[in-house]
């Protein structure tokens, strides 16, 4: 079942999401929700989806960065972004316990800010503690693009959108990103756009 993805301006995207209890995590409703979120993320060609994006203020997100999403990228851009496939997994009640490196800047988009993209600085490595769909405690050490995805999705659970962190002069439509900027190094984009906040 494909769920509706809410867009910027909806109050739920600016709320701090509620923690899930062990009982809630093990419930049939949450298990079904995870499957619906996975299906919705795939249909939207996203690499992550947080529960607030479908109107639910709970600390739950799903992530998967498929190989086919990266196939169009030239090898040098994949290397620059440190982008590798990430298997499907669930984050419940996640916390970034440490971050390092950066800021590393790349264009970033969001399913809840449809049609737009901007350069966003993020840490290059993060360590995240979270619960999985079974309520089991896990730790993730991530770098590169995976670290960016984690930071983006965890921001959603705290009411933060990438537009709060972006370099505002780099905001562009996805159409213009693909037309003018997508294959250029970020430094070159910044130089062409002039002074960036």
| pLDDT tens-digit series, residues 187-196 | 888 888 865 5
Each residue's pLDDT tens digit, 113-166: 999 999 999 999 999 999 999 999 999 999 999 999 999 999 999 999 999 999
Distances (CA, A) of 26 to 50, 66, 94, 133: 18, 27, 17, 7
Q: Where are the domains of the chain?
A: 11-193
Let me know: does 166 contact 108? Beta carbons within 8 Å: yes
pLDDT digits (tens, 9 = 90+) for 33-53: 999 999 999 999 999 999 999
pLDDT score for 78: 84
Model pTM score: 0.94
Alpha carbon distance 185, 6 (integer Å): 31
| Catalytic residue check, 153 | yes
CATH of 11-193, picked from 3.90.45.10, 3.40.50.300, 3.40.50.720, 3.40.190.10, is 3.90.45.10
Among 64, 105, 108, 153, the one annotated catalytic: 153
pLDDT at 163: 98
Q: What is the pLDDT of residues 80-112, one digit of tens each?
A: 889 999 999 999 999 999 999 979 999 999 999
Give me the pLDDT at residue 76, please.
81
> Which residues, including other chains, have CB under 8 Å from residue 162's CB and lie 6 or more apart?
108, 109, 110, 113, 118, 120, 152, 155
């Amino acid at each position: 079942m494909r769920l509706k993805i809410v867009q910027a301006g909806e109050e739920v995207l600016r709320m701090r999401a509620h923690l899930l209890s062990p009982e809630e995590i093990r419930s049939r409703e949450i298990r079904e929700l995870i499957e619906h979120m996975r299906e919705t993320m795939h249909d939207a060609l996203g690499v992550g989806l947080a529960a607030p994006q479908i109107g639910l203020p709970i600390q739950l997100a799903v992530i998967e960065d498929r190989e086919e999403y990266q196939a169009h990228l030239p090898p040098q851009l994949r290397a620059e972004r440190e982008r590798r496939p990430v298997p499907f997994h669930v984050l419940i009640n996640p916390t970034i316990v440490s971050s390092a490196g950066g800021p590393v800047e790349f264009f970033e988009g969001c399913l809840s800010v449809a049609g737009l993209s901007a350069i966003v600085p993020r840490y290059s490595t993060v360590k995240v503690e979270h619960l999985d769909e079974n309520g089991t405690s896990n730790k993730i050490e991530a770098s590169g693009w995976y670290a960016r995805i984690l930071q983006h999705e965890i921001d959603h659970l705290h009411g933060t959108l990438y537009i709060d962190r972006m370099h505002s002069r780099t905001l562009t439509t996805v159409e213009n990103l693909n037309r003018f900027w997508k294959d250029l190094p970020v430094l070159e984009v910044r130089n062409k756009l002039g002074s960036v906040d």
